[in-house]
Amino acid sequence: MNKTLLVIAVLMLHGTAAAQSSQQPTTADLNYTYAELRFVDVDTNGGDGFKLGGSLDLNGPWILLGSITDLDFNNNVDATILEVGGGYVWQYNRNFDLIATLQLVRTDVDALGGSADDTGVALSGGTRGWLAPKFEIRASVNHVNLDNSDTFLEIAGDYHFTDQVAAGLSVEFAGDTDIFTVGARWFFN
């Protein structure tokens, strides 16, 4: 009896997996023309704010990227981060793309004691793809070279409610800073 139940359970799981794989989207279903709005929480000094960003597919493997992030910290410090650049998308396999980006980064920090700004570059390499139908995941290593350089590991996931709207979470880990975001993307094309 137990062997029969085990065989039935294995056959049901196999049938479910086969049905899911036939409905699994491919990298052709990944859209690189979007705008996004995210709430950002930085665990260092109680910082939070918003990020407005986007990407534009240049009808091929090249994309343009940009974002502006506005953060407020508990110690009366405000920071604005502007990023502009481009990237290359390579279809690694049926479900995942590999992505490399290079962006110019400008930071402006205002505090009670004065203000400071810095300009540098951000280099990123990672992957984007489908974990399941309607559920996209991203993972990347991001290096920011400003006055104090840092390397972040980012893990993110979005649920696609429609072809035009997705929402999800991201987490970035670095030496002594963790960044959490929640937000939505609106896809065009």
Q: Residue ranges of the domains in the chain?
A: 2-187
The pLDDT value given to residue 189: 78
Confidence band (pLDDT; 50, 70, 90) for 8?
Answer: very low
- Considering only residues 59 and 20, tell me which one the structure prediction assigns the higher pLDDT: 59
Cα 139 to Cα 33: distance, rounded to the nearest angstrom: 19
- Phi, psi at residue 45, to the nearest 5°? 55, 25
pLDDT, mean of residues 78-106 = 95
Render pLDDT for 9-38 as a digit per residue (tens, 0 to 9): 444 444 444 444 457 788 888 999 999 999
CATH superfamily of 2-187: monomeric porin ompg (2.40.160.40)
The pLDDT value given to residue 174: 84
Q: For the purposes of burial, counting CB atoms within 10 Å of the CB of 56, is it exposed (0-12), middle (13-18) or buried (19 or more)?
A: middle
Cα 78 to Cα 115: distance, rounded to the nearest angstrom: 9
Render pLDDT for 112-138 as a digit per residue (tens, 0 to 9): 888 888 999 999 999 999 999 999 999
Burial 111-148 (b: 16+ CB within 10 A, else e): eeeeeeeeeeebebebbbbbeeeeebbbebebebebee
The pLDDT value given to residue 13: 45
Residue 66 · residue 85 · CB < 8 Å: yes
